[in-house]
Structure 1
Amino acid sequence: MKSNRKAKRIISAVLCIMLVALTAACGSQPAEETAAMFKAGTYTATTDAHNGELNVEVTVDENTIKEVKVIEHKESPGISDPAIERIPKAIVDEQSLAVDTISGATVTSDAIIVAVTEALKQADADIEALKVKKEDEKGSKETKEYTTDVVVIGGGGAGLAAAVTAHENGAEVLVLEKMPRLGGNTILSGGAYNAVDPGRQSKQEIEDSIEKYYTQTYEGGDKAGNPELIKTLVEGAYPGIEWLEGLGMEFNDEVFTVLGGLWPRAHKPSAPLGTGFIDTYSNYIEENDGIEVLLDTEAKELMMDDDRVVGVKARGIEGDVIVNSNKAVVIAAGGFGANVEMRNQYNEIWPDLTNINTTNHPGATGDGLVMAEGIGANLVGMENIQLLPMGDPETGSLSGNIEQGVENRIFVNKSGNRFVDEGARRDVMTQALMEQEDSFMWVIVDKHSYPTEDTTNNFNETIAELLEQGRAYKGETLEELAEKIDVDADNLVKSVEEFNKAVEKGEPDAFGRTLFADKLDAPPYYAGGRVPTVHHTMGGIEINTKAQVLDKDGNIISGLYAAGEATGGIHGTNRLGGNALADITVFGRIAGENAAKEK
């Protein structure tokens, strides 16, 4: 018995000695260390974005991307904000460069990713490994359901006007916006808002009237617009400005003639682009309970109960979304200028539009029209697609346009010759431009438009910035300018001289132009290139003066309203410049008020 115990003790001792020896051996030989992924530190990099250079700062430790910041950029406010906010966060959250770009801000998104890549190269990162897309680990996505009084499809100017007005009339509101930001085309616009305004116009000795505004709008659309809708528009335009001012928005004191506006009645917001409209609505939403906004949420289908619209089925990042409406749904999802297939389907006026860029944001794809037609709504004027002669040669956007108003500039072709009345309708000017070499023209202005190089255009870009970016050219003489833009100097000089003679006489010139202000006689002179671009789709959902949607037999579809570029029948074959922002405000307000009053 003793020998057995002794044997067990010996065995135990041996095992302990072996264990201790093994432990000691392990302790004396350090474990194999994981190789560092980065060289710890903070790195900066610069790349070209949409409007100029974009700078990032990236901080890493040995194994982690700790922080990504965009420290400097020249991107457009509102448009690029979602990319600047989300892309750096996504890179840190996912520890990857293979992050999704932001719809509507893809150029800015890509620029941020490129700059971060360059910064991480300085940190000795394995860039190819960081570009590998990680699998989605979120699993199945759940359906979310909401119930509210008024559902608004679209977070642009028309939709937000409707949402705010519905709330002012006592309704609870939910806004569905498929893009990652609010704003739609409104935030990209030049901000010009037409309205007869005796207070401002009389100070500039401008004679105007509701009747004149109505006639120009009706005849400017070849009398194809609905007279009652036009009357509602022109009568409601100035009250719309007063309402916006009551919400805190500011407009400049002087009115002007916007491209294709035909008369000096355009009001310019104090804020750049269309940001004043969207900021005003956003401030109201933030300061008041009762309006909820769902971004990245695309409306897919209108829900029906018998013959009444009772809600919307949508799709968000986290899954399906169902929104029930106690009162009504407002469609304000914009037009279809960014949908090449749809605009070619309906185009009956222009040459093939496949390779023509657009001023529209990427979300302007006609979704609201398709949904409405799917439940029997009538679509009118779909063939009426407006092109502008003012597109950026690279992107089609309105940015970079050096004109300040219609009266102080001329257009010349690549030969340096004028070719159209620069105060004419937009379709007339664009058709004339398409007949020029390469469908290309130069806008010519002088010091009257840019007293200093810090003076901004209608898109908050200084002429100095445009010169630096090669989007504008400057000459102390017309001959110098002609050399820089490669046009015949004699032709350019003659074009300006003939224009100046017409200004002196104050009579129609050889092209029939009657809108003049200053002569082009104050150096330096500036030129900026422009091409045709798809701008506005006048066709859409048929509505009445209460913004109620009509079916193909002219009957009201209960519980459904529409406003803005999603509607048709207001502008006819051609929309006057400056009428879109008036339209979305007037009919957005009407739609919101009546939706809130639905039983």
Structure 2
Amino acid sequence: MPFEPRLWTEPSWEAPSGYGLMFTGGENAHPFADIAAPAPRGHVPAMTNKKPGEQSAGWVLMKHLADTAADAGVHTHYNTRVGRLVVDGDRVVGAEVVTFGERSFVKARRGLVLSAGGFGANAAMPGNHLTGTDGDDGSAIRMGQAVGAAVLHMEAGQTAFPADPALLYRSLLLDRHGNRFINEDGYPGRAGQASLFRQDRQIFLLYDDTANEETRQASGYVVEPTWVSNDLAELETEMGPAPGALTATVGLYNAAAEKGEDPVCHKSAGWVRPLKPPYGVLDLRNAMFSIFTTGRPVHVVSRRGPLARRRPVPGLCAAGRTTSGIPAWGYCSGTSLGDSTFSGQRHVPRRRQAP
């Protein structure tokens, strides 16, 4: 697959055409940049006719993988749903499948691999665990559980932030009390997680005309604010925090920003500057948060007995987001590919020799 040797440095969900490299996981932001020297590890395949959110890097990657599988002789059965696994004793030996109402059975020669995503689109499972990606109905996870597989991190999930990253980086992300709670220049999904799991979606974005114009130039994203005012006290009346709370938050931020600093949330200096009136506020309370789950079977080990003594379910494997892998709780762009590659290359560890 071709990659353009150009680095995209603007905050965005995906680099535009002509750029093949970007920071995709907040590696260059606090707290991660304080731990290790950041490197742009996000590789974006080159393609024509890119349509963000519809036909982009993931699409072209899957086309290459699908074509390679077909060339290798892999047979794909479309419009086919797996109903349940078939076992012989403790061993998984096949699966029952349904195609346009016709039921049949597939026999596994060596084993069966579950690889069907999470469970965000299952009506019942989020009530028991969490609330996705369309089609992720949890069927593979439930089939694994049915034959004894243990599960892990079923309460975990990743959520996208409901505003453009170019605006988020240039704004102040506030809770219902008018306080900041995370640095705005990290991976947008991390801000989304904090907003959903820690703030129950009761959040606001505060910005100014400069941030709005820079966002428009960087991404073409036009922000329609919920409220606009030169007076922070007037915005407090609209937003609902305690009197003086918003004024104090902006005053503290601006005083440090004059020095290029952010001692409260440690936003990178390149994104730190004082906000000036008129101010705009985007009310994101109860906004729609796209989410996918990251909990699933633990490499299909049996749930019987303590975890340290559990053994693999014979004949059953799993890959991708159906397994509890690299993004077990936190997630950043690219780790789905790392997870699928990792689980596809894992080898069964050698048995220890008896002492």
With the length of structure 1 as denominator, give the TM-score of the two structures.
Answer: 0.42
Residue ranges of structure 2 left out of the alignment (5+ in a row): 10-17, 185-189, 305-309, 348-355
Q: Which residue of 2 aligns with 1:368?
A: 140
1:286 to 26, 44, 67: 67
Residues 88-130 of structure 1 show CA distances to partners (whole Å, capped at 9, x for unaligned) of xxxxxxxxxxxxxxxxxxxxxxxxxxxxxxxxxxxxxxxxxxx
Matched length: 302
The 5 A counterparts of 1:297-376 are 297-317=80-100, 319-320=102-103, 322-346=105-129, 360-376=132-148
Distance in 1 between the 2:30 and 2:98 partners?
Answer: 39
Verify the 8 A CA contact 2:92 2:316 in the aligned structure 1: yes
The 5 A counterparts of 1:82-231 are none
> Offset of 1:494 from its aligned partner?
4.6
Note if 1:433 corresponds to 2:199: yes
> Offset of 1:541 from its aligned partner?
0.5
Paired AA for residue 42 in structure 2: H
Q: Which residue of 1 aligns with 2:163?
A: 401
Residues 370-391 of structure 1 show CA distances to partners (whole Å, capped at 9, x for unaligned) of 1011112122233x33475x6x
Residues 125-179 of structure 1 show CA distances to partners (whole Å, capped at 9, x for unaligned) of xxxxxxxxxxxxxxxxxxxxxxxxxxxxxxxxxxxxxxxxxxxxxxxxxxxxxxx
1:276 to 53, 57, 60: 57
Verify the 8 A CA contact 1:412 1:419 in the aligned structure 2: yes
> Offset of 1:317 from its aligned partner?
3.2
Residues 253-289 of structure 1 show CA distances to partners (whole Å, capped at 9, x for unaligned) of 455628x995366737476348412321223423652
Which of the pair is proportionally richer in helix?
1
> Offset of 1:405 from its aligned partner?
7.7
> Offset of 1:309 from its aligned partner?
3.1
CA RMSD of aligned residues (A): 4.4
The 5 A counterparts of 1:426-575 are 428-434=194-200, 439-446=201-208, 447-448=210-211, 450-451=213-214, 453=216, 455-456=218-219, 462-464=220-222, 467=224, 472-473=225-226, 478-479=230-231, 486-487=238-239, 492=246, 494-503=248-257, 504=259, 506-509=261-264, 513-516=265-268, 517-521=271-275, 527-530=281-284, 531=286, 533=289, 535-543=291-299, 549-553=300-304, 554-568=310-324, 575=329
Verify the 8 A CA contact 1:330 1:591 in the aligned structure 2: no
Paired AA for residue 558 in structure 1: P
Paired AA for residue 214 in structure 2: P
Residues 309-343 of structure 1 show CA distances to partners (whole Å, capped at 9, x for unaligned) of 34332223353354444443321222222334223
Paired AA for residue 566 in structure 1: T
2:42 to 240, 264, 267: 267
Distance in 1 between the 2:163 and 2:90 partners?
Answer: 48
CA shift in 2, pair 1:337/1:491, >3 Å: same
Verify the 8 A CA contact 1:448 1:522 in the aligned structure 2: no
Distance in 1 between the 2:129 and 2:320 partners?
Answer: 19
1:576 to 317, 330, 347: 330
Distance in 2 between the 1:321 and 1:529 partners?
Answer: 52
CA shift in 2, pair 1:373/1:284, >3 Å: closer
CA shift in 2, pair 1:200/1:452, >3 Å: closer
Q: Larger relative contact order (C-alpha < 8 A, sep ≥ 6)? A: 2
Distance in 1 between the 2:231 and 2:142 partners?
Answer: 53
> Offset of 1:293 from its aligned partner?
3.9
Residues 496-517 of structure 1 show CA distances to partners (whole Å, capped at 9, x for unaligned) of 33223334363522xxx12332
Distance in 2 between the 1:309 and 1:507 partners?
Answer: 56
SS of 2:256's partner is: helix
Distance in 2 between the 1:534 and 1:262 partners?
Answer: 25
Verify the 8 A CA contact 1:422 1:429 in the aligned structure 2: no
Note if 1:412 corresponds to 2:202: no
Paired AA for residue 276 in structure 1: A
> Offset of 1:528 from its aligned partner?
3.3
SS of 2:60's partner is: helix
Distance in 2 between the 1:448 and 1:293 partners?
Answer: 49
CA shift in 2, pair 1:569/1:277, >3 Å: closer
Residue ranges of structure 1 left out of the alignment (5+ in a row): 1-198, 205-248, 348-357, 391-397, 457-461, 544-548
> Offset of 1:432 from its aligned partner?
4.3
2:182 to 411, 417, 421: 421
CA shift in 2, pair 1:496/1:402, >3 Å: farther
> Offset of 1:302 from its aligned partner?
1.9
Greater C-alpha Rg: 1
CA shift in 2, pair 1:524/1:319, >3 Å: farther
